Amino acid sequence: MTFKEFGLNESLLEGIDASGYENATPVQEQVIPLILAGKDIIASAQTGTGKTAAFLLPIINKLLASRIDDQVNALVIVPTRELAVQIAQNLEGLAYFTEISSIAVYGGGDGSNFTNEKQALSRGADIVICTPGRMIAHLNMGYVRLQGLQYLVLDEADRMLDMGFYDDIMKIISFLPPKRQNLLFSATMPVKIRDLAKKILHEPEEINIAISKPPAKIVQRAFIVYDAQKIPLVKDLLKSTNFKSILIFCSKKHNVKQLTMDLKRARFNVKEIHSDLEQAEREEVLLEFRSRRLQILVATDILSRGIDIDNIDLVVNYDVPNDGEDYVHRIGRTARAETDGVAYTFVSEKEQNKFNTIEQLLGSPVPKAEVPEQFGPTPEYNPRKSRRTGGGGGGGHRQGGGGKSNGKRFQPQHQRRNNNGQNSAGRQGGGGGRSSGQAG
């Protein structure tokens, strides 16, 4: 379906064209007409589905006819600064040929940012994209012009609740006029999201685009290791493979810092990103990574959702993520758009149960990769045993058979360099791109 068929304004169609969009994505096909018709919406859609434009386009289109001067006309609440910046950039592109104004309002940055935000909020900006804490700081000062607000969007709502923003969201809403159109987007639909929806939405249409499964084209492999083998194994994988753009996730800031330091010492082109960095530093690192000047980025889950970076070839879960959704989000950073991707997860003894729970959520075991000989014995993959013993392990294990849930192990040969230093088998990913348990 083309965007013209939605009957959008010509100036908006120009922006869509300039953004390089030709046809609407499935979420856009479903959501745009409903928003244009004035419905409240609850949609489960993950990043990468085109959900941002699905709500921005109809809002911009409607505001072209109904915007009220000197007011905030639409408010988009998001969990992180990065997502706020990304949506603002997307909006800038789409609205480029229109007169719609916008601003991203988020924490961090220096005092001049706050002053700019204050000016925009007190004069009115058509679309405001904000993180909850920062918006409340402005609201408490009393100058934000919200009386004319027509649209409220909650994006990545599940993430916001996970981050403890429920009270903040409700407080922001208490400042809004009751008559407005409400749109809620969430990657998952746990009960707490449904409860939130009941409080905020008015007779919403429900849309389900995403099932929380990783795209089949991602080659997933797990390395069953002892904790102490993780750093040497990362280094070996990075040295012996030919990935150009690599994102490594750690669960804790401490691990991010430690691993980055180790990789720097080994002369890898690597930087870290986590919430201890200033906003400007975070943006600079992201820019370097996006433009591929930086090859390896080590991150906390701050980057697992909502961040749109194309062409990441490899995602490494240095720590097993806390739940299946985080796993899907993390590995979903690779294999965006038309490209394939590879996702490796390092599973220590303590993490076997957690990983097994994720495999159950995915509906099939992740094939186990063989840890190269030089690393010595590796633990057996035996989640039930590690549950009983708290990961006591014991005894070494090599090669096949031990992995109860999937049998064979897999050597990531498809990414090992050949003698010319080139990628030996391109990006097909030996073992096929399926996430099933058919180990290669």
CA distance 398 to 377: 6
> From residue 217, how far is each of 156, 210, 352 by CA, in Å?
24, 16, 24
Of the pair 137, 309, the CB lying nearest ligand AMP is at 309
Greatest CA separation found in the chain? 71
What's CA 238's distance to the chain center, in Å? 23
- Residues near 42 by beta carbon (within 8 Å), at least 6 away in sequence: 184, 186, 189, 193, 197, 201, 204, 205, 206, 207
Nearest to 20 by CA among 8, 3, 43: 3
Of the pair 59, 146, the CB lying nearest ligand AMP is at 59
| Contact predicate 359/368, CB 8 Å | no
Of the pair 76, 369, the CB lying nearest ligand AMP is at 76
Binding site for ligand AMP (CB under 6 A): 21, 24-25, 28, 47-53, 90, 308
Closest distance to ligand AMP from the beta carbon of 403 (Å): 35
Structure tokens belonging to residue 263: 């990789």
CA distance 6 to 58: 9
Closest distance to ligand AMP from the beta carbon of 352 (Å): 33
Of the pair 53, 193, the CB lying nearest ligand AMP is at 53
Closest distance to ligand AMP from the beta carbon of 88 (Å): 13
Beta-sheet pairing, 341-347 with 314-317: parallel
Report DSSP state, residue 370: P
CA distance 136 to 138: 5
Of the pair 187, 224, the CB lying nearest ligand AMP is at 187
The dihedral region occupied by 213, where left means phi > 0, alpha psi between -120 and 50, and beta the remainder, is beta
Closest distance to ligand AMP from the beta carbon of 48 (Å): 5
CA distance 175 to 184: 18
75: number of Cβ within 10 Å: 25
Closest distance to ligand AMP from the beta carbon of 90 (Å): 6
Structure tokens belonging to residue 143: 């100058």
Closest distance to ligand AMP from the beta carbon of 28 (Å): 6
Of the pair 47, 150, the CB lying nearest ligand AMP is at 47
Closest distance to ligand AMP from the beta carbon of 50 (Å): 3
Closest distance to ligand AMP from the beta carbon of 53 (Å): 4
Of the pair 16, 366, the CB lying nearest ligand AMP is at 16
Closest distance to ligand AMP from the beta carbon of 46 (Å): 7
Of the pair 28, 300, the CB lying nearest ligand AMP is at 28
One-letter amino acid at 111 equals G
Of the pair 49, 317, the CB lying nearest ligand AMP is at 49
Nearest to 77 by CA among 139, 3, 141, 34: 139
One-letter amino acid at 129 equals I
